[in-house]
């Protein structure tokens, strides 16, 4: 009898290992004392030198096939990979399943009750990205349709097949829906209706998905796309619902009030110990804009904060990423106002080897320094060539005063 029990337990363990290749959960690396980059996607074909570069420079990526992931993990076993799946919608776009790209649209579209409809019974369609909104609403603590359970089970199955560490649940917040569906419906055209009838349901749904991920032996990461974080009337969405998430369009180029709201929301995530993926598009020639993004990242950085500046290549590296400021001197505060220096009229955060100064205003700000510092400048950067060598470099100049241009930042080393 005891031999049968032991054999049964052993069989169960083997089965779990077979269906759960990510049994030993990878952790997101500490970001307190360096800038770490998490890629949105990387090239499927790389030279040997580029493979080495990816394995040694990136914390992780998403949307890559299983064989690609296995190869990079032979060089760096801790390399993180996220599965990509729309959070509240489905459509014909393909996603990774093992070593191929596929779509479950033919299966999902048969379940009409899973879709969200307007009063006339029409599906609500996100026209810009060609997907339909699903009915993720809850009633009495349970999903009203079968879609949430399907979404969860499909994501878990794909993460196991892909050998992923978690899922990036894209297009999660109302940013992608408000005023952007056809036919127009009050649920996404009227602010009061969105606040009352959609956002609380989104909180239930997000918590359901996160619980489902964490209940698995692998304890998969649930990382929704939290959008731009600048919608001032959305005080309902629970931004802490998962393990963190992406701030897409990080460091808005809009009004200073929007920038301050976004920074505060990012800081609240960082202060709560969440994983924060700060991602934004750039023009490499716009040096001040690049420094504004890097400065905002340094201002809001926590223990698991990652940066990704994108132009037109999926394998890009910028010299700002190699900046060595050492660790920050104090854990992130949950309000950007804590970093306002009223004497300098700048936002300031101190690090072991220097400081980051950020100016979101429309006019340059100059300050005199009590002791000389080294002002950091960056030149070059962009696609990493076949030789695996990044372009660009950092230089420093000793200064006794510094001018921070409008909508930019500067970094000073001791």
Query: pLDDT at residue 5 above 90?
Result: no
Listed in order, strand segments (DSSP E) in 270-338 are 275-281, 305-310, 316-317
Are 258 and 206 contacting, i.e. CB atoms less than 8 angstroms apart?
Answer: no
Contacts of 332 (CB under 8 A, 6+ apart): 267, 270, 271, 300, 301, 302
How far CA 100 is from CA of 65, 68, 103, 202, in Å, comes to 7, 11, 10, 31
DSSP 8-class letter at 175: G
- pLDDT tens-place string over residues 166-175: 999 999 999 9
Query: pLDDT at residue 132 above 90?
Result: yes
The whole-number pLDDT of residue 259 equals 98
CA dihedral 251, 320, 376, 288 (to 10 degrees): -40
**What is the spatial distance between Cα 9 and Cα 186, in angstroms, rounded to a whole number?**
54
Mean pLDDT of 188-209: 97
Mean pLDDT of 309-333: 96
- pLDDT tens-place string over residues 227-251: 999 999 999 999 999 999 999 999 9
The region of weakest confidence among 3-12, 51-60, 76-85, 240-249 is 3-12
DSSP 8-class letter at 333: P
Domain boundaries, the chain: 2-340
Contacts of 195 (CB under 8 A, 6+ apart): 233, 234, 236
> How many Cβ atoms from other residues are within 10 Å of residue 154's Cβ?
18
**What is the spatial distance between Cα 207 and Cα 59, in angstroms, rounded to a whole number?**
26
The whole-number pLDDT of residue 56 equals 98
The whole-number pLDDT of residue 6 equals 39
The whole-number pLDDT of residue 23 equals 52
**What is the spatial distance between Cα 262 and Cα 256, in angstroms, rounded to a whole number?**
10
Are 158 and 97 contacting, i.e. CB atoms less than 8 angstroms apart?
Answer: yes
The region of weakest confidence among 7-11, 32-36, 323-327, 337-341 is 7-11
CATH 3.20.20 fits 2-340, yes or no: yes
Query: pLDDT at residue 405 above 70?
Result: yes
The position carrying tokens 């101190």 is: 350
Given pLDDT bands bounded at 50, 70 and 90, which one contains residue 371?
Answer: very high
Helix (H, G, I), strand (E, B) or coil at 154: helix
**What is the spatial distance between Cα 409 and Cα 193, in angstroms, rounded to a whole number?**
39
Percent of the chain, pLDDT > 90?
93
The whole-number pLDDT of residue 339 equals 98
Q: How is residue 101 written in tokens?
A: 């790209």
Mean pLDDT of 111-121: 97
Helix (H, G, I), strand (E, B) or coil at 410: strand
Total-model pTM: 0.93
The region of weakest confidence among 13-17, 66-70, 152-156, 273-277 is 13-17
Query: pLDDT at residue 21 above 60?
Result: no
Given pLDDT bands bounded at 50, 70 and 90, which one contains residue 22?
Answer: very low
Query: pLDDT at residue 16 above 70?
Result: no
- Give alpha helix (H) positions in 236-323: 256-271, 287-300
Q: How is residue 204 written in tokens?
A: 């239930």
Mean pLDDT of 349-367: 98
Q: How is residue 294 written in tokens?
A: 């890097």
- Give alpha helix (H) positions in 199-255: 199-214
Query: pLDDT at residue 78 above 70?
Result: yes
Contacts of 377 (CB under 8 A, 6+ apart): 394, 395, 396, 397
**What is the spatial distance between Cα 215 and Cα 358, in angstroms, rounded to a whole number?**
41
**What is the spatial distance between Cα 333 and Cα 345, in angstroms, rounded to a whole number?**
19
The whole-number pLDDT of residue 25 equals 86
Are 357 and 403 contacting, i.e. CB atoms less than 8 angstroms apart?
Answer: no
DSSP 8-class letter at 134: B
């Amino acid at each position: 009898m005891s031999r049968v029990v032991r054999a049964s337990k052993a069989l169960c363990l083997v089965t779990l290992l077979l269906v759960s290749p990510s049994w030993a959960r990878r952790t997101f690396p500490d970001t307190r004392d360096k800038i770490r980059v998490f890629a949105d996607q990387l090239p499927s074909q790389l030279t040997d030198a580029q493979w080495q570069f990816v394995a040694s420079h990136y914390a992780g990526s998403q949307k890559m096939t299983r064989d690609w992931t296995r190869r990079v993990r032979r060089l760096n076993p801790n390399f993180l990979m996220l599965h990509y799946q729309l959070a509240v919608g489905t459509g014909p776009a393909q996603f990774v399943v093992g070593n191929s790209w596929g779509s479950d649209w033919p299966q999902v579209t048969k379940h009409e009750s899973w879709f969200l409809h307007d009063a006339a019974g029409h599906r609500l369609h996100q026209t810009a990205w060609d997907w339909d909104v699903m009915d993720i609403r809850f009633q009495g603590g349970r999903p009203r349709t079968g879609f949430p359970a399907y979404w969860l089970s499909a994501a878990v199955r794909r993460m196991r097949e892909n050998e992923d560490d978690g899922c990036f649940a894209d297009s999660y917040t109302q940013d992608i829906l408000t005023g952007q569906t056809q036919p127009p419906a009050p649920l996404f055209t009227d602010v009061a209706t969105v606040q009352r009838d959609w956002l609380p349901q989104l909180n239930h749904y997000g918590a359901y998905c996160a619980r489902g991920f964490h209940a698995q032996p692998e304890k998969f990461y649930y990382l929704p796309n939290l959008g731009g974080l600048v919608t001032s009337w959305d005080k309902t969405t629970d931004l802490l619902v998962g393990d963190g998430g992406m701030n897409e369009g990080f460091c808005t180029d809009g009004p200073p009030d929007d920038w301050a709201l976004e920074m505060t929301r990012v800081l609240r995530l960082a202060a709560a110990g969440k994983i924060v993926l700060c991602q934004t598009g750039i023009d490499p020639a716009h040096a001040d804009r690049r420094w504004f993004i890097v400065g905002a990242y340094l201002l809001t950085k926590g223990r698991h904060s990652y940066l990704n500046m994108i132009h037109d290549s999926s394998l890009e590296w910028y010299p700002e990423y190699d900046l060595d400021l050492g660790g920050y001197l104090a854990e992130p505060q949950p309000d950007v106002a804590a970093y306002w220096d009223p004497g300098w009229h700048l936002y300031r955060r101190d690090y072991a080897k220097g400081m980051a100064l950020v100016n979101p205003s429309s006019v340059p700000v100059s300050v005199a320094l009590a002791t000389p510092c080294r002002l950091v400048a960056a030149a070059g950067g962009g696609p990493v060539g076949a030789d695996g060598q990044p372009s660009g470099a950092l230089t420093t100049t000793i200064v006794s005063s510094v001018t921070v241009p409008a909508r930019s930042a500067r970094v000073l080393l001791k």
